[in-house]
Structure formats: C-alpha cells, structure tokens
C-alpha cells in the first residue's frame, strides 16, 4: 500500500513531487533508546532476566504473587517485558522498583544469581534512572498518538522533549534529581 513505486506514496508523488514522506515518528525514539551505554544496557538486561525468571515460570509467578499478597504489597504482579513491546520498559522498571524488597526476598529464596543486585545502591539507582527516562519517553510517545495530530505539532513536541533533555543533563550534572521521581525517591531512602 505504501510502496514507493506502485503504492500510495508513488501516486502522491506523481501528483506532487515535493511531498515529504515520513515513516512512523514513534519508532525513532525506540531506536535511540536502544543505544544505551554498556552499563545501562547491562542493567536493562538484568532487569529483564529477573522479570522473566519470575513471570515466565508459572510456579514462580504464583509464588511471587502469593508472597506479595501476604506482605500486603500495593502490587502483586511484576509486568512482563519483551523487546517487541518496547513501550513497556518504563512500566516494567517502575513496577520492579516498587516491588524491589519482595523481589529481592524471592530471588534470595530461589538462590538466583541476581538477588544481590537489589542491595547494590548503584544498580538500583541506574534502574531508577532508566525507569524515569523510559517513562518520559513513553509519555512523549503517547502524547504524539491519536487523531488530529499534525507533523508540525509532532515536531514541536519532539523539540520540547529535546529541550527537556538538555535541562535534565544540567540538573543531573549539578546533583539535582527532582526531575527524576524514582531516582529521587531512592536517594531519599538512603
């Protein structure tokens, strides 16, 4: 349908050759988010391993749910993450941070190799930073979906987000973390 030789794009270009074709503005952020530093990429992989260890096995999932219920946790489930559902990263990380005590206890009980990560403050802070950043990217992407969106409006939102990134870099460099709620909460708890 969108073929450049015979599809819709080709027909539009026949009528007006100056028409610019833009393919899905949303996936550009996904591609950019895949270029994390090695250290942050490793944290994301470890988070995925932990979630998959609990969620991919029915027994583990039921036991974890029961443990969270017994503790009276606000949430009783971890959210599942897969590379196909890349918009879920922020929510997966956020939920894992909210259930970090329960997750650490569960992994320790199961003698999982990543159980110790939940007592490492640097790892937790990196996970919180990722949760905050992916939550912001998800928010940007959701604001750019739906009816009555124009290329100009989408571009303005993207430019505003780029401006936010510069402000956040300056704030982080000066030690101010208020713009990062999950990270800020972790720092207050220490």
| pLDDT digit string, tens, across residues 97-136 | 888 889 999 999 999 999 999 999 999 999 999 999 888 8
Q: What is this structure's pTM? A: 0.75
The predicted structure's pLDDT at residue 84: 43
Task: Tell me the C-alpha distance between 110 and 60, whole Å.
Answer: 9
Identify the domain containing residue 73 by its residue range: 24-143
pLDDT at 139 over 80: yes
User: Is residue 162 situated within a structural domain?
Assistant: no
User: Is residue 139 situated within a structural domain?
Assistant: yes
User: Is residue 13 situated within a structural domain?
Assistant: no
Classified as helix, coil or strand, 177 is coil
User: Is residue 4 situated within a structural domain?
Assistant: no
The predicted structure's pLDDT at residue 153: 86
Kindly state the average pLDDT of the residues 131-158: 83
Mean pLDDT of the chain: 81
User: Is residue 190 situated within a structural domain?
Assistant: no
Count of domains in the chain? Answer: 1
Query: What distances in angstroms separate CA 77 from CA 44, 45, 60, 88, 117, one per listed residue?
Result: 19, 19, 11, 14, 20
Kindly state the average pLDDT of the residues 86-105: 83
Q: How far apart are the first and last CA of the chain?
A: 56
Contact 36, 44 (CB under 8 A): yes
User: Is residue 17 situated within a structural domain?
Assistant: no
User: Is residue 99 situated within a structural domain?
Assistant: yes
User: Is residue 88 situated within a structural domain?
Assistant: yes
């Amino acid at each position: 349908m969108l073929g450049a030789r015979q599809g819709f794009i080709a027909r539009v270009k026949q009528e007006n050759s100056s028409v610019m074709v833009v393919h899905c503005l949303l996936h550009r952020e996904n591609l950019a988010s895949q270029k994390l530093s090695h250290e942050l990429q490793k944290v994301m992989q470890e988070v995925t391993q932990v979630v998959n260890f609990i969620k991919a096995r029915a027994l583990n999932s039921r036991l974890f749910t029961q443990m969270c219920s017994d503790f009276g946790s606000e949430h009783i489930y971890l959210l599942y993450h897969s590379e196909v559902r890349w918009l879920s990263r922020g929510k997966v990380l956020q939920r894992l941070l909210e259930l970090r005590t329960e997750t650490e206890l569960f992994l320790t009980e199961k003698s999982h190799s990543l159980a110790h990560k939940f007592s490492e403050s640097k790892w937790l802070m990196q996970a919180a930073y990722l949760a905050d950043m992916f939550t912001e990217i998800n928010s940007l992407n959701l604001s750019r979906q739906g009816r009555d969106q124009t290329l100009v409006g989408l571009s303005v939102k993207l430019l505003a987000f780029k401006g936010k990134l510069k402000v956040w870099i300056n704030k982080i460099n000066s030690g101010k973390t208020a713009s990062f709620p999950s990270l800020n909460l972790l720092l207050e708890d220490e």
